[in-house]
Amino acid sequence: MKVGLFIPCYIDQFYPQVGIATYQLLKKLGCDVDYPENQTCCGQPMANSGFSALTGGCDKNFVANFDAYDYIVAPSGSCVLHIKEHLKDDKNPTKAQKIRNTIYELTEFLVDILKVEHLTSNFPHKVGFHTSCHGQRGLHLSSMTERVLPQFSKPEQLLQKVKGLQLCYPERKDECCGFGGTFCVFEEAVSVKMGKDRIEEHQKNEVDYITAGDVSCLMHLEGILKRQGSKVKAIHLAEILNHE
């Protein structure tokens, strides 16, 4: 089983440790992982801003990089969702379709494909879980408070296997943090207010860390936490699952 690792551009540039943790974790779990070195970006920043017409180059490059794998895995729900919903390649429609069908967000890959039963990780801290919207409502990584359906959570399933970790949720279990791509600058006031409100709920739980499946949410929350001088740290889920 050949796994292509997709490390979204902002992780590559700002949060390499998340890419490293994902890579090491998959290796540990016995995957044959490869990072296609000419990858760039999924095209989401443009598409979500209304410029999907400009994503042809990204799409082409993505297909060229990831065509050869059985599975594609990325530590970002929103980038995976974008590929799943919007990747197209007029010259290679079947290749694009195959990629759309075989791309997985990290936690769903671990739970649904690898069916991970046991983790060796150890993280003796109180951790607040932030539910990233695209992973949850788009990829259905966990049940949603709006729906009347059975409850489940793939990320939680994994976090519960981590030794010493005390998991808690904010009062509003799955409210958006306000990042929202370009929303975070074009609607700066609302974006920051949403982030502050999420953080406040986590702080009420006296958490040491806030974790999530999407670095974009964490980057936004971390920016606010640092500005506030908070002791609470942001950490990606992959880093926790890979922590020994």
Partner 1 sequence: MSNLKTLDHAAAAEIFIKDEARTDWHDDTLWFVRQKRDKAVNGIAEWEQLREWASQIKNHTLSNLDNYLTAFEKQAEANGIKIHWAADALEHNQLMHKILKAHNISRIVKSKSMLTEECHLNDYLKKQGIEVVDTDLGERIVQLRDEAPSHIVLPAIHLKKQDVSETFHEHLHTEEGNNDPQYLTEAARQHLRDHFIQSELAITGVNFAIAETGGFVVCTNEGNADMGAHTAKIHVACMGIEKIIPKAEHLGVFLRLLARSATGQPITTYSSHFQKPRPGQEMHIIIVDNGRTKQLGRADFRNSLKCIRCAACFNTCPVYRRSGGHSYHTAVAGPIGSILNPNLDMKANADLPFASTLCGSCSNVCPVKIDIHEQLWKWRQVIVEEGYVKPEKKIAMKGMAWIFSNPKIYRWAGKSGRWFLRTMPFLGNNKLNVWYKQREMPEAPKQSFHDWYQQNKNK
Question: Alpha carbon 163 to chain centroid distance?
Answer: 22
Instruction: By CB under 8 A, tell whether 208 contacts partner 1.
Output: no
Q: Which is nearer to partner 1, 101 or 189 (CB)?
A: 189
Q: Which is nearer to partner 1, 128 or 195 (CB)?
A: 195
CB of 123: closest distance to partner 1 in angstroms?
A: 22
Residue span binding partner 1 (CB under 8 A) among the ranges 40-48, 91-99, 104-112, 114-122: 40-48
Backbone angles phi, psi at 140, to 5 degrees: 60, 45
Instruction: By CB under 8 A, tell whether 93 contacts partner 1.
Output: no
Q: Which is nearer to partner 1, 81 or 165 (CB)?
A: 81
Round to whole Å and give the CA distance between 24 and 18.
10
Task: Find all residues with CB under 8 Å of 114, minimum gap 6, and list them.
Answer: 29, 31
Round to whole Å and give the CA distance between 94 and 76.
24
Q: Which of 2, 68, 163, 186 binds partner 1 (CB under 8 A)?
A: 186
2-21 residues near partner 1, rule: CB under 8 A: 7, 9-17, 19-20
Dig out the tokens for 71 from the structure: 């599975």
55-84 residues near partner 1, rule: CB under 8 A: 55-58, 60-61
Do the beta carbons of residue 46 and residue 101 sit within 8 Å? no
CB of 16: closest distance to partner 1 in angstroms?
A: 4
Cα end-to-end distance, the chain, whole Å: 26
Round to whole Å and give the CA distance between 219 and 225.
10
* Residues forming beta bridges with residue 212, ordered by sequence position: 236
Instruction: By CB under 8 A, tell whether 23 contacts partner 1.
Output: yes
Residue count, binding to partner 1 (CB under 8 A): 77
Q: Quote the crossing angle between the two packed helices 77-86 and 93-102, to the nearest 10°.
A: 150
Dig out the tokens for 181 from the structure: 């791509």
Nearest to 89 by CA among 71, 64, 116: 64
Instruction: By CB under 8 A, tell whether 140 contacts partner 1.
Output: no
Instruction: By CB under 8 A, tell whether 219 contacts partner 1.
Output: yes
Q: Which is nearer to partner 1, 216 or 242 (CB)?
A: 216
Q: Which is nearer to partner 1, 162 or 180 (CB)?
A: 180
- CB-side exposure of 166: number of CA atoms within 13 Å? 7
Instruction: By CB under 8 A, tell whether 39 contacts partner 1.
Output: yes
Q: Which is nearer to partner 1, 53 or 118 (CB)?
A: 53
Q: Which is nearer to partner 1, 212 or 224 (CB)?
A: 224
Round to whole Å and give the CA distance between 128 and 210.
5
Instruction: By CB under 8 A, tell whether 37 contacts partner 1.
Output: yes
Instruction: By CB under 8 A, tell whether 51 contacts partner 1.
Output: yes
Instruction: By CB under 8 A, tell whether 120 contacts partner 1.
Output: no
Instruction: By CB under 8 A, tell whether 146 contacts partner 1.
Output: yes
Round to whole Å and give the CA distance between 158 and 177.
22
